[in-house]
Amino acid sequence: DQQVKQNSPSLSVQEGRISILNCDYTNSMFDYFLWYKKYPAEGPTFLISISSIKDKNEDGRFTVFLNKSAKHLSLHIVPSQPGDSAVYFCAASLDRGSTLGRLYFGRGTQLTVWP
Partner 1 sequence: DGGITQSPKYLFRKEGQNVTLSCEQNLNHDAMYWYRQDPGQGLRLIYYSQIVNDFQKGDIAEGYSVSREKKESFPLTVTSAQKNPTAFYLCASSPSNTEAFFGQGTRLTVV
Contact flag: residue 34 with partner 1 (CB under 8 A)? yes
String of contacts with partner 1 for each residue 63-92, x by CB under 8 A: --------------------------x-x-
Question: In the complex with partner 1, which residue's Cβ is closer, 16 or 101?
Answer: 101
Q: Give me Rg for the CA atoms of the chain.
A: 14
| DSSP one-letter code for 81 | -
Binding residues for partner 1, rule CB under 8 A, total: 29
Interface residue with partner 1 among 8, 22, 49, 112 (CB under 8 A) is 49
